[in-house]
Amino acid sequence: MPGETDSWDFGVGAGFYVNATTPQWKKNYNMYDYIVKELPALLAKEFPKQLDLSKKSIMGHSMGGHGALIAALKNPGMYAACSAFSPICNPVNCPWGQKAFTGYLGDDKQKWSEWDASHLCKQYKGSALAMLVDQGTEDDFLGKKQLLPDALVEAVKSSPNLSLHLRMQNGYDHSYYFISTFAKDHIDFHADYLLGRRGAL
C-alpha cells in the first residue's frame, strides 16, 4: 500500500494493535482482530487437542505491550493475566500514538480513547485483572515521553478490579536484553494465574 513502508513507526512496522477505520488502512490494518480473534481461532483449528484456549494470558513489548494491555482491558475475563515490557501506556498523549491514531483512526480523538490503556482503565467494569509491567529506567523512549507509565498507574486506581505491579528496573533500556533478563518472571506470573495460584508479584 502507498506509504506503508515510509517510516518505521507507522505502517508495516507499527500496526499499533488497532482496527483501522480510515479509508486507506481499514481493509488490511486490523491487528487487534488478528490477535484477539483470528489467531486464537487458527490455533484452535490447528491444535484442537493440544491447546486449551479457555486458559490464556497475554504479554507484549513496547507497542506490543500497548496491544497486550488494550486486548486484556477491552475483553474482561478473556485473559487470566496481562504483562508488558516498556508498554506505550497512554498513546493519545504521546507522539507515537498521536501519529498512529491519526493515520489509522482519523482526527476524532474520542475514538482514540477506545484504544488507549489508560483511558480503558478508567472505564473498566469487568472481572479482576492483574497486570505486571517492567520498565527500564534508562529507556530512551521513557525520557522522550513516549511510554508514560505514570498515566497507567493513576488510571488503574479508577477500578477496584484492576491491579498493577509496575517495576522500574534500574539501568535497563528498551532492548531485548532487558526482556530476556526478566522474561522468566513474566512467564511465572502468567503460569500462576493460568493455574489459579494468583501470582505473588
The residue annotated as part of the active site, out of 61, 174, 186, 190, is 174
pLDDT of residue 201 exceeding 60, the answer is no
User: Considering the chain, what percentage of its residues have pLDDT values greater than 90?
Assistant: 91
Average pLDDT over residues 163-174: 97
CA dist 61 and 65 (Å) reads 4
- What CATH number matches the domain at 52-194, 3.40.50.1820, 3.50.50.60, 3.60.21.10, 1.10.10.10? 3.40.50.1820
Position 115 scores a pLDDT of: 98
Average pLDDT over residues 56-63: 97
pTM value? 0.95
pLDDT tens track for 13-46: 899 999 999 999 999 999 999 999 999 999 999 9
Position 100 scores a pLDDT of: 97
Active site includes 174?
A: yes
Average pLDDT over residues 43-65: 95
Q: Are 87 and 66 contacting, i.e. CB atoms less than 8 angstroms apart?
A: yes
CA dist 53 and 78 (Å) reads 10
The residue annotated as part of the active site, out of 62, 83, 86, 118, is 62
3-state SS of 155-185 is HHCCCCCEEEEEEEECCCCCCHHHHHHHHHH
Q: Give the least confident one: 81-85, 94-98, 128-132, 196-200.
A: 196-200
Chain centre to alpha carbon of residue 161:
18
For the stretch 26-35, what's the b/e string if a residue is b when 16 or more beta carbons lie within 10 angstroms of its beta carbon?
A: eeebbbbeeb
Average pLDDT over residues 101-117: 96
If you write DSSP's letter for every residue of the chain in order, what string do you get? -TTTTSBTTBBTTB-TT-B--STTTTTT-BHHHIIIIIHHHHHHHH-TTT--TTS--EEEETHHHHHHHHHHHHSTTT-S-EEEES----GGGSHHHHHHHHHHH-S-HHHHGGG-HHHHHHH--SS-EEEEEEEETT-HHHHTTSS-HHHHHHHHTT-TTEEEEEEEETT--SSHHHHHHHHHHHHHHHHHHHTT-----
As a whole number, the mean pLDDT across the chain is: 95
pLDDT band at residue 112, thresholds of 50, 70 and 90?
very high
The residue annotated as part of the active site, out of 139, 159, 186, 192, is 139
pLDDT tens track for 143-165: 899 999 999 999 999 999 999 99
Active site includes 62?
A: yes
Active site includes 139?
A: yes
pLDDT band at residue 3, thresholds of 50, 70 and 90?
confident
Position 200 scores a pLDDT of: 52
Q: Are 135 and 98 contacting, i.e. CB atoms less than 8 angstroms apart?
A: no
